[in-house]
Amino acid sequence: MITKNTLKPTLGLMAASLLLSACGGGGGGDSTPPARKTGSISGNVFDAPVNGAKIEVFEYKNGKVGRLLANTTSNAFGDYKLEFESSSMPLYVVAQQGSYTDPLTKEIVSSSAGKTLRLEGVVNFSEGSNQTLMLTPLTNIVSGLAKYKIAEGASGADAISKALSSINGMYGFNVNETTPIDITKGGQSSFATPGHQYGALLTAYSSYSYDLIEKYGQSKDNIYTSMHLADIQFRDVIADGLLDGLEISESTGAVTPLTFGQQKVTSDVYTQDLSQQILIVVNDPKLNVSGTDADDYVAFSQQVNDLGTHGQTDGVIPPRDETEIDTIPPTVTRTDSDVLAGTDNVDLRINDDIGVQSISAYVEYKLNGIWSGEFKCSDQQTSGSEFCSVDASGFEVGVRETNIKVSIDTNAIDAVERDSDTGLSNVSDARLVFYTADVLGNELVPGSNKGHYVNFYWDNDAPVITVSSASAINKQLPEYVLKGTVKEASQDIKSVNVSFKNGLPEELSCTPVITESGSACEFTSKPYSTEEFLSTTTFDITAKDTKDNVGKLTFTVSRDDQAPAQIVAYPEGASMNYVNVNLDGERSTYEGVYTQDTYTSDNVQSSRDYLKIDYVYAS
């Protein structure tokens, strides 16, 4: 019987089948790699909420911006969300352009110092995850610090992790993941959360910028803004990994001191100055509408102020001297200069670097050459209420400037003791004494003889004259009218006269009015041609009452027709230092003269010669 061996053919067919399968043949199976999981990054663009910012996310391998993964635009509240597919790797997110409303100036800010808004953030992304990333001036620091560390040799992931840890440690919260709360618009809470602290700090950037506007005035290119300060911070930290007021010049490549307009930038700007501004904004009821107590921010403010004061670098703040946030109690200034009569008012302004908390007023008088003790105004328990009372209707707690009025009964002061023969008061002088306290607890304590003294003068015998007309004029005003009041009841006024430029006196009619001091009369002169006015022109005013007591006042009016002149002068006979940068980037220094022809509108943009001057004068 003939038999056939089928084992070898069978094995051969199986091997062929496996080979075809491995080669993708035979029409079975799919070797395509599985799709990436979709993940997201979401957060808030905040320098105050930024509307309309263009947001992009890129791959970020070892500090190099790679493939664009997704883009979107922030909404009116600054919120954004990016969805994309990516493996686990470092990512770079940037928000550009857009605008925000400055909480202090109330103006819409879209550019500053010639730049549009730009805020960056970096994150170590995990594939398929939904991660949170704010884009703020603080994440800007993280991004700049990570870039510096990468340039120093760190891997992208390590640089991001260490940079974020440094900045989080400085402020005590995760700057990437904590959502800033806009305390100027809401965020109602019974206590301050890290989000409130975050929002307060960023509002402090605007408050600091606003103070510089108040000090120096805003420039045409809108230089004093929080977005410009954020840009300065970024340039500062990317230069050497520290917020020390130094940057690498784009034009020369040299280490260059930074300025914020006319303000020199040092580590104190990021610490002491901003710690003060935090307390300023949270104590101001017009700015902090979140309902959180200002005391909740004191420890956070102190934490910011203490950075760098422990003898070593804190995060990116280099060692610096320890400084107090504020040690000076509020000051008091009289804003009027009137001579008082009867019961009359003294207007006062109270100022503090952080915020005014309280004020108490006292009066003391000098009798027979000796100052009396202090009598507290409005105090019903002592005789202080006989002499003075405080009108606090204009007083506001927490603000840096507020006002009060003190009403003084000068007749009661005169009545303390009178000469038995003449009937005149033996009280020769009197003054107000103020004790103030601020929101940090700096205070002047009553009874310490260290209060703020404010002098005042009064006359209850002769009529007291005040003038309300302007004390300065220019050629644009064709006529001048003198107006004022006489502090005495009109029925007791016999006459009011005015003499123009030492000429003959002219009688004025005086109409009864009621003023803060009580009954008085108001006078108005005839119009005087300003062509008759000299550089200084005097009016001599005289008022006589029915007892023939005479009050006099000489009022001077200044004339200024000269417009301010701006004169630019150039140094004569002195060589200036220049740096020449050739086309290859090589630099050389030389000395030369500086004239009006050195830089002109035609050559200033193309010149390769840079004037080398101290940065203090460059601002």
Per-residue pLDDT at 247: 95
Query: And the tokens for 125?
Result: 């992304």
Give how far Cα 226 sits from Cα of 95, 133, 134, 138, 496, Å: 15, 20, 17, 12, 57
Asked if 342 contacts 462 with a C-beta cutoff of 8 angstroms, the reply is no
**pLDDT of 176:** 99
Q: Is residue 186 part of a domain?
A: no
- On whether both 345 and 396 belong to a single domain, the answer is yes
Q: What is the mean pLDDT of residues 33-57?
A: 94
Q: Please, which pLDDT band fits residue 30 given cuts at 50, 70 and 90?
A: low
Give the residue-averaged pLDDT of 569-581: 76
Assigned domain for 178 exists: no
pLDDT band at 31 (very low <50, low <70, confident <90, very high): low
Residue 129: inside a domain, yes or no? Answer: yes
- At 18, the pLDDT band (50, 70, 90 cuts) reads very low
pLDDT in tens, 467-515: 999 999 998 899 999 999 999 887 889 999 999 999 999 999 999 998 8
Asked if the model's pLDDT at residue 518 lies above 90, the reply is no
Confidence at 23, pLDDT banded by 50, 70, 90: very low
- In a domain, residue 29? The reply is no
Q: How many CB atoms lie within 10 A of CB 422?
A: 8
> Which is more confident, 178 or 21?
178
The dihedral formed by the CA atoms of 211, 216, 218 and 224, expressed in degrees to the nearest 10: -50
**Residues 133 and 70 occupy one common structural domain:** yes
- Of 434, 458, 482, the residue that ends a domain is 458
pLDDT at 27 over 60: no
Length of the chain measured in residues: 619
Do 435 and 516 share a domain, yes or no? no
Query: Band of the pLDDT at 46, cuts 50, 70, 90?
Result: very high
| CATH code of residue 70 | 2.60.40.1120
Together in a domain, 445 and 335: yes
Average per-residue pLDDT for the chain = 91
Burial 483-516 (b: 16+ CB within 10 A, else e): ebbbbbbeeebeebebebeeeeeeebebeeeebb
Residues 454 and 474 in one domain: no
Q: Taken in order 8, 9, 13, 16, is the CA torsion positive or negative?
A: positive
59 and 143 housed in the same domain: yes
**Nearest to residue 532, comparing CAs of 501, 560, 568?**
501
Dist. CA 232–CA 267, nearest whole Å: 12
Res. 17: pLDDT tops 70: no
- Provide the domain count of the chain: 5
Residue 293, pLDDT above cutoff 60: yes
Whether 299 and 173 have beta carbons less than 8 Å apart is answered as no
- What pLDDT band is residue 11 in, cutting at 50, 70 and 90? very low
Q: Is there a contact between 558 and 484 (Cβ–Cβ < 8 Å)?
A: no
Q: Would you place residue 14 in the very low, low, confident or very high pLDDT band (cuts 50, 70, 90)?
A: very low
Q: Same structural domain for residues 448 and 337?
A: yes
Q: How confident is the model at residue 367 (pLDDT cuts 50, 70, 90)?
A: very high
- CATH for 513: 2.60.40.650
pLDDT tens-digit series, residues 139-172? 999 999 999 999 999 999 999 999 999 999 999 9
Do 43 and 144 belong together in one domain? yes
Cβ atoms of 94 and 65 closer than 8 Å: no
- Note whether 527 and 587 are same-domain residues: no
**Based on the domain organization, do 51 and 157 belong to the same domain?**
yes
CATH number at residue 364: 2.60.40
Does 304 have pLDDT greater than 90? yes
**pLDDT over 90 for what percent of the chain?**
77
In a domain, 4, yes or no: no
Report the pLDDT value the prediction gives residue 619, as an integer from 0 to 100.
Answer: 44
The reported pLDDT for the residue numbered 573 is: 65
More confident residue, 125 or 604: 125
Residue 122: inside a domain: yes
Residue 553 forms part of a structural domain: yes
Please report the pLDDT score of residue 436 as a whole number. 98
Last residue within a domain, chosen from 458, 480, 509 = 458
Q: Cα–Cα distances in Å, from 526 out to 291, 479, 486, 555, 557? A: 56, 10, 17, 16, 16
Given 458, 476, 503, which residue is the final one in a domain? Answer: 458
In a domain, 176, yes or no: no
pLDDT at residue 16 greater than cutoff 80: no
Residues 151 and 231 in one domain: no
Q: Please check whether residues 431 and 476 belong to one and the same domain.
A: no
pLDDT 10s digits, 226-265: 999 999 999 999 999 999 999 998 888 889 999 999 999 9
Where in the sequence is the domain holding 607, given as residue range(s)? 574-617
